[in-house]
Amino acid sequence: MITTKNIDGFWRPGMTPPTFRTKMEKITIIKLGGSLITDKSRPMVAREKIIARLAKEIKIASKLYSGKLLIGHGSGSFGHTSANKYQTQKGMLNRASIKGVSEVSDVASQLTKVVVKHLRGAGLPIVAFAPGSFIIADKQKEKRFFLEPIKEALKMGVVPLVYGDVVFDQSQGFGIFSTEKVIDVLVRGLSKDFKIERIVYLGVTNGVYDETGKTIPMISPKTFSKVRKTLGGAATTDVTGGMLHKVKESLQIARKYKTEILIVNGRVSGIVRKAILGKKVLGTLIKTYRYQRG
C-alpha cells in the first residue's frame, strides 16, 4: 500500500509526494448600481462623469489591493425601461416578445460600452462578458453556467465586467438576470478557485435606511426580519426588485461563502477606494459571521 507519510509522519523518497494546499487568491466584486450610473428618470441617459470618477478610484485601489477585481453594473434607465415595456422578465408572451428580447439585450450592451470606455480610460484592463453567453436558466433560476473564460481572465490579470442581462430559459424561453443574480452565479462558480473577500454595492443611498431614514449599520439573518418591512422596491422602473432583492441575495451569499457585503453611496468621492481596501465607511454591512473591520 502506497502512503504519503511514514509511520513517524514524515514523507520519504519512494512514497507518493504529499499534496500542499495553496492559498487561494482574493477577489473583491464591485457593482456599479443602475441608479448611480444612469439617470433613471430619463431613458438611455448615462451619468458619464460619475462613471469616469468611479473608474479612476477603482484604478487607484487596484494598485493597493492584493487580490483580483471583478466589476458588475446595473442597467438603470437602459435595460429596465425596455424590459418593462415588453415584460421580458416573464419570457415569451406574444409576438412582440422576440423583438423585446433583442431590444433589451441591445440597450444593456450599449450601457456596457459606455462603462468599458471609462474603465479602460482609467487604465483598467477590462473585458466584458455577457451573462446570456455563460448562463442557462430554467424557471428564472440558474440551471447551468460556464465560467472558465472568466476564471482564465482573472488568472492573467484581466478585470472581467458583467451586467444585468437577458438569459435564455428552458421553461419560458428567456428572462432577465439582475446583476445581483449574476454575481450570485459568479460567487458560486469562482469560490472553488478564489476567496470571495467582499462585494461592494455602489448605489445612491448611504446603505440601507431604517424607518426614520437613518443608515442601518449591519444586517444579519437575525436582524433581517426586523428591517425587512422598511425595504421596498426601487423608486423608479426596476424589473429586478430593488433594495429588498439586493439584501436577500446578499444574505444568501454571505451565509454560504462567509463573504462580507457592503452597500454604500457611490456619490461620495473616495468611498469605493476605501471599501475595496477594507477601510471603514458609512454604509450597511451584510454578514453572517463574526468579523471586525478596520
Task: State percent of the chain over pLDDT 90.
Answer: 70
pLDDT at residue 237, as a whole number: 43
Least confident range from 7-11, 117-121, 157-161, 263-267: namely 7-11
Residue 21 CB partners (closer than 8 Å, separation 6+): none
CATH assignment of the domain containing 207: 3.40.1160.10
Model confidence at 132: pLDDT above 80: yes
pLDDT at residue 175, as a whole number: 96
* Tens digits of residue pLDDT in 93-121: 999 999 999 999 999 999 999 999 999 99
pLDDT at residue 16, as a whole number: 62
Model confidence at 265: pLDDT above 60: yes
Least confident range from 36-50, 128-142, 162-176, 240-254: namely 240-254
Confidence of residue 236 (pLDDT cuts 50, 70, 90): very low
pLDDT at residue 210, as a whole number: 87
pLDDT at residue 2, as a whole number: 45
How large is the average pLDDT for residues 18-37? 85
pLDDT at residue 3, as a whole number: 46
Burial class, 182, CB count within 10 angstroms (exposed 0-12 / middle 13-18 / buried 19+): buried
Model confidence at 4: pLDDT above 60: no
Cell of residue 105, nine digits = 439585450
Task: State percent of the chain over pLDDT 70.
Answer: 87
Distance of alpha carbon 134 from alpha carbon 146, whole angstroms? 5
Rounded mean pLDDT of the chain?
89
Looking at the structure of the chain, the number of domains it has is 1
Task: For 115-169, give the DSSP string.
Answer: HHHHHHHTT--EEE--GGGTEEEETTEEEEE--HHHHHHHHTT-EEEEE-EEEEE
The C-alpha cell 487596484 sits at 62
Looking at residue 89, what DSSP letter applies?
A: G
How large is the average pLDDT for residues 7-36? 74
In a domain, 92, yes or no: yes
Confidence of residue 226 (pLDDT cuts 50, 70, 90): confident
In a domain, 19, yes or no: no
pLDDT at residue 290, as a whole number: 59
Model confidence at 200: pLDDT above 60: yes
In a domain, 291, yes or no: no
In a domain, 216, yes or no: yes
Beta-bridged to residue 128, according to DSSP, are 161
Least confident range from 9-13, 154-158, 268-272: namely 9-13
Task: For 201-243, give the DSSP string.
Answer: EEESSSS-B-TTS-B--EE-HHHHHHHGGG----SS--TT-HH
In a domain, 177, yes or no: yes
Domain interval for residue 250: 25-286
pLDDT at residue 13, as a whole number: 62
Which SS3 state, helix, strand or coil, does residue 196 take?
strand
pLDDT at residue 10, as a whole number: 52
Beta-bridged to residue 162, according to DSSP, are 72
Q: Bigger pLDDT: 111 or 242? A: 111
Q: Bigger pLDDT: 13 or 227? A: 227
In a domain, 17, yes or no: no
